[in-house]
Amino acid sequence: MNAAAVSLLTPQQSMSSLAVNPLQHLGRKPRLLIVDDQAVNIQALYQVFAADHQVFMATSGAQALAICRDKQPDLVLLDVQMPVMDGYEVCRQIKADAQLQDLPVVFVTAHSDAEAETHGLEVGAVDFISKPFTPAVVRARVKTHLTLKLQADLLRQMAFVDGLTGVHNRRFFDERLDAEFQRARRSSGTLAVLIADVDFFKRYNDQYGHQAGDEVLRQVAQLMRSQLKRPADLISRYGGEEFACILPDTPLQGALTLAAEMEAALKAAHIAHAGSDVGPYLTLSLGVATMQPGPGRVEAELIVAADEQLYLAKSRGRGRVCGLAL
């Protein structure tokens, strides 16, 4: 669930809309992964869900785990009996993975005895459907578990949102940075971090008052968020008047361009700041760092480098962007 969707509704409205129509609230087709070593079984389930779900398919446990990590499905429909790695082991590995542990798994299998069902639930599945299945029943159960997942996602998002600005908080930033760093390492991709500071914010508070300062922080957060181009891009309130962005698969030039657009958008808003040494309006200083994670590298290097570039931007007169590729 993306942050923009959360910010448009109150928690009560969001939870209510989920109960009425969870698929609409998601803002896209739900992603289902069907795992079965028999093509005919995959095809049967595909026919049930293809019209209003994005369906991924896997015929082995290893393939299923790879798709889970790459495509981030909303729910897995998993067969039990498969060669090499059975469904129970696939489910165990999903639940042991910090990035996948909240992914609901529903076993769809020819086993119908209580012992098999109990074992499936013990390894982490949320439901157990016996073959042959009734399409209407499978659809109803999948909808129920999608609703529960979206509600849980919303509650997690609420815990990770900064109460003043409506963007994510530092805790969420730290968790997402770790996840994106690991993903970039696996895919040999480039990860960028951007740190922004509102110039002379203490002077702004002193001159216009803390309520005006709070409103300015909300405006800055929304202006910066409006410049993000992709769902994977993330903005968080990093602390005080600082904001930070995580930009997956972004080289230095792309990150510098985005940072410059954010700085220009704030200048164009013409928010008066009589106490600034930069000019008559509120401005941002931004530091950018990019890295292709590899052996021996840690995400803290990105933060330190982006912070150093922010300091450099301030030392050069503020209201500007500095960046570095590590």
- Is residue 220 within 8 A of residue 283, CB to CB? The reply is no
**pLDDT tens profile 268-299:** 999 999 999 999 999 999 999 999 998 889 99
Q: Can 241 be counted among the known catalytic residues? A: yes
Q: 130 versus 55: which is more confidently predicted?
A: 55
Lowest mean pLDDT among 3-7, 186-190, 198-202, 316-320: 3-7
Which of 180, 241, 263, 299 is the catalytic position?
Answer: 241
54 φ/ψ angles, rounded to the nearest 5 degrees = -90, 120
Q: What is the pLDDT of residue 201?
A: 97
Question: Is residue 129 over pLDDT 80?
Answer: yes
* Local confidence band at 25 (pLDDT 50, 70, 90 cut-offs): low
> CA 260 → CA 177, 198, 224, distances in Å?
22, 14, 11
* Local confidence band at 312 (pLDDT 50, 70, 90 cut-offs): very high
Q: What is the pLDDT of residue 8?
A: 37
Residue 286 buriedness (CB in 10 A; 0-12 / 13-18 / 19+)? buried
3-state secondary structure of 251: coil
Question: Is residue 13 over pLDDT 50?
Answer: no
Q: What is the pLDDT of residue 26?
A: 63
Q: What is the pLDDT of residue 184?
A: 92
Beta strands in 123-256 (DSSP E): 127-130, 191-198, 234-239, 242-248
**pLDDT tens profile 70-87:** 999 999 999 998 999 999
> CA 61 → CA 37, 67, 110, distances in Å?
9, 10, 17
User: What does the mean pLDDT of the chain come to?
Assistant: 89
Q: Measured between alpha carbons, how far is 159 from 240 in angstroms, rounded to an integer?
A: 18
Q: Measured between alpha carbons, how far is 132 from 66 in angstroms, rounded to an integer?
A: 28
Whether the CA torsion 278, 283, 289, 290 is positive or negative: it is: negative
Residue with tokens 């909303």: 74
3-state secondary structure of 246: strand
**pLDDT tens profile 145-189:** 999 988 888 787 778 889 899 999 999 999 899 999 999 998 899
Report, at the CATH architecture level, how domain 170-325 is classified: 2-Layer Sandwich (3.30)
What stretch(es) of the chain map to CATH 3.40.50.2300?
3-159
Q: What is the pLDDT of residue 156?
A: 76
What letter does residue 73 receive in the DSSP assignment? -
Q: What is the CATH number of domain 3-159?
A: 3.40.50.2300
Q: Compute, in degrees rounded to 10, the torsion defined by CA atoms 115, 118, 119, 122.
A: -160
What stretch(es) of the chain map to CATH 3.30.70.270?
170-325
Query: Quick one: average pLDDT of 99-108?
Result: 91
Alpha helices in 209-298 (DSSP H): 210-226, 252-268
**pLDDT tens profile 249-270:** 999 999 999 999 999 999 999 9
Given strand 54-58, what is the order of strands in its sheet? 54-58, 31-35, 75-78, 105-109, 127-130
- Is residue 180 within 8 A of residue 164, CB to CB? The reply is no
Question: Is residue 23 over pLDDT 80?
Answer: no
Q: What is the pLDDT of residue 106?
A: 95
